[in-house]
Amino acid sequence: MLSILIENMGLLCSRNKHYNEEDNEENAQTAEIERRIEQETKAEKHIQKLLLLGAGESGKSTIFKQIKLLFQTGFDESELKSYISVIHANAYQTIKVLYDGSKELAQNDRETFEISSENKGIGEKLSTIGSRLDYPHLTKELAQDIETLWKDAAIQETCARGNELQVPDCAHYFMENLQRLADPDYVPTKEDVLHARVRTTGVVEIQFSPVGENKRSGEVYRLFDVGGQRNERRKWIHLFEGVTAVIFCAALSEYDQTLFEDESKNRMMETKELFEWVLKQPCFEVLFSSIFLCPYVACAAVQISSNSVGSLTFYLLFFYILVQKTSFMLFLNKFDIFENKVLNAPLNACEWFKDYQPVSTGKQEIEHAYEYVKKKFEELYFQSTAPDRVDRVFKIYKTTALDQKLVKKTFKLVDETLRRRNLFEAGLL
């Protein structure tokens, strides 16, 4: 009997030892998981969320690509090659819009807009290709056809009326580089990629720091780009929470153009209404930091012993609430196109700018027109912002998305502004 009892006691001790080993292993795994979660949480706390918004064709995606080029590793060869089909499609789409537009304009003015008889066949062929869903690879022969049609006087006249059509901003750039684009060994350059136009669908994001992620003086940002067309905007809402700053892009040059998706709507009026709507979103009012465990409380944890349960440790959690109003950065984009257009196309073509009166010529008039548009957006901001939110950070920047030096300078200014805001809210300024 005694031997059986001793044997059972041995088995029990062995089992307890086995259970203790399992518990220790499980506790170690739990501790490792908690350590990783804590590390990720700390890392996330230092990442500032930026939301890039604006109507379609405002230049948001070009800004996004510039950030990748400026503050990340840029595009490797495989990424550059992935743009070949996009760039070839842009060439076909551009010449189709111009050819179809010339036929439409020729109904009222044949002498100016009718394609020459020797180029009509080329035009019909290219228009058919441009209507397809699958564009052929751009060959030297097709590039020559596009180039021939592009040089037709009627097409040049049509391009001058591009604001009445949906001629993309990249038209001149790609039409002037057709032979290079059609080279069998063609690999797009950074400039080609920046000019390439493909409508953003869904949400894309990028993480970067304007001064380098390893430098303590700089913040790390996560920038989200979303489609600007009307049918894409329903995807914006779920990104509105926890935003450090909204970067809203408005294309200065589109005051006399209509929407791609609604040709009865002026693009600048659409931008005005969209900016007004974004400003009124209540979720941009405050940010709340997450619950955290105070380390001093953790050191004084209460331990309760129980014969059956063992030892349990209870930690007190502190709720730390930081009231932080989302900052707004307005990028008045496409200034390069605006300064070439505004002296010839009246700014008051847009209903919002109907009271604009030119006061000078040349560079002075360009600057006067820009300041007028800037003031209209400033007035809209204060009219659309609730009284308890007017003290949030609001800055306006003149930008040209294709100008890498200007984009770099602008984002360093944005970084400086947001860092100063963070120091101010922490009571350090």
- Kindly report the pTM of this predicted structure: 0.79
Whether residue 57 sits in one domain with residue 178: no
Residues 144 and 212 in one domain: no
10-residue stretch averages of pLDDT, the chain, 429 residues long: 50 53 63 54 70 91 94 92 96 97 95 96 96 93 98 97 92 97 97 91 84 59 81 68 91 94 93 93 60 40 39 39 74 97 94 94 95 97 84 92 96 90 73
Same domain, 266 and 380: yes
Same domain, 375 and 285: yes
Angle at 401 between CA 396 and CA 406, to 5 degrees: 70
**146-152 contacts at long range (C-beta below 8 A, 24 or more positions apart):** 146/91, 146/92, 146/95, 146/175, 146/178, 147/175, 147/178, 147/179, 148/119, 148/122, 149/95, 149/98, 149/99, 149/115, 149/119, 149/122, 149/123, 150/95, 150/98, 150/175, 150/178, 152/115, 152/116, 152/119
Contact present, 102 and 154 (Cβ < 8 Å): yes
- Is 242 marked as binding a ligand? no
Cα distance from N-terminal residue to C-terminal residue, the chain: 81
Asked if residue 102 is part of any domain, the answer here is yes
Q: Return the sign of the alpha-carbon dihedral for residues 89, 227, 340, 357.
A: positive
Q: Which two tokens stand for residue 71?
A: 């503050």
**How confident is the model at residue 45, as a pLDDT?**
60
Helices 140-150 and 153-160: crossing angle, nearest 10°? 70
Is 401 among the annotated ligand-binding positions? yes
Q: Cα 34 vs. chain centroid, distance in angstroms?
A: 34
- Is 120 labelled as part of a ligand binding site? no
Domain residues for the domain of 146 are 77-195
User: Kindly report the CA angle at 304 between 302 and 307, in degrees rounded to 5?
Assistant: 165
Q: From CA 62, how far away is CA 407, in angstroms rounded? A: 10
Q: Give the angle 375-224-168 at the CA atoms, nearest 5°.
A: 65
Question: How far, in Å, CA of 234 to CA of 78, rounded?
Answer: 32
Token readout for 87 is 């760039």
The reply to whether 217 sits in an annotated binding site is no
| DSSP H helices in 385-427 | 404-425
Q: Is 238 annotated as a binding residue?
A: no
| 336 marked among binding-site residues | yes
Check whether residue 173 and residue 82 sit in a common domain. yes
Q: Is 359 annotated as a binding residue?
A: no
- The answer to whether 10 is a known ligand-binding residue is no
In a domain, 39, yes or no: no
Residue 235 lies in a domain: yes
- Please name which of 65, 249, 267 lies closest in space to residue 166, comparing C-alpha atoms: 267
**Domain-terminating residue out of 167, 195, 223:** 195
Q: From 114, 122, 56, 113, select the one nearest 95 (Cα to Cα).
A: 122
Integer CA distances (angstroms), 185 to 77, 142, 190, in order: 12, 16, 16
Same domain? For 260 and 172 the reply is: no
Q: Tell me whether residue 196 is annotated as binding.
A: yes
Q: Name the token pair of 183.
A: 């080279």
How far is the CA of 275 from the CAs of 145, 262, 382, 383, in angstroms? 42, 18, 12, 12
| Residue 228 among known ligand-binding residues | yes
The answer on whether 368 is annotated among ligand-binding residues is: no
* DSSP per position, 278-307: HHT-GGGS---PPPEE-HHHHHT-EEEEET
Residue 401 buriedness (CB in 10 A; 0-12 / 13-18 / 19+): buried
- Is 14 contained in some domain? no
The verdict on whether residue 229 carries a ligand-binding annotation is yes
413 is a domain residue: yes
Given 154, 180, 195, the domain boundary residue is 195
- CA–CA gap between residue 425 and residue 429 (Å, rounded): 8
Residue 225 corresponds to which amino acid? D
Q: For residues 197 and 90, is the Cβ–Cβ distance under 8 A?
A: yes
Domain membership of residue 15 (yes or no) is no
Same domain (yes/no): 69, 111: no
Domain count, the chain: 2
- Is 379 within a domain? yes
Are 275 and 176 found together in one domain?
no
Q: Check: CB of residue 163 under 8 Å from CB of residue 256.
A: yes
- Do 357 and 244 belong to one domain? yes
Q: What local confidence, expressed as pLDDT, does residue 261 receive?
A: 84
Please report, for the domain that includes residue 167, its CATH number: 1.10.400.10
Domain end (from 195, 226, 261): 195
182 belongs to an annotated ligand binding site: no
231 among annotated binding-site residues: no
**Parallel/antiparallel/unpaired status of strands 327-333 and 292-293:** unpaired
Q: Same domain, yes or no, for 268 and 334?
A: yes
Note whether residue 9 is domain-resident: no
Please, which residues have CB within 8 angstroms of residue 240's CB and are 6 or more apart in sequence?
Answer: 51, 281, 283, 284
Residue 404: which CATH number? Answer: 3.40.50.300
CA–CA separation, 266 and 345 (whole Å): 15
Same structural domain for residues 167 and 220? no
Query: According to the annotation, is 227 in a ligand binding site?
Result: yes
The secondary structure of residue 266, as a DSSP letter, is: B
The answer for 334, left when phi > 0, alpha when psi is -120 to 50, beta otherwise, is left
100 is in an annotated binding site: no
29 labelled binding-site residue? no
> Are the CB atoms for 423 and 429 separated by under 8 Å?
yes
Does one domain contain both 55 and 186? no
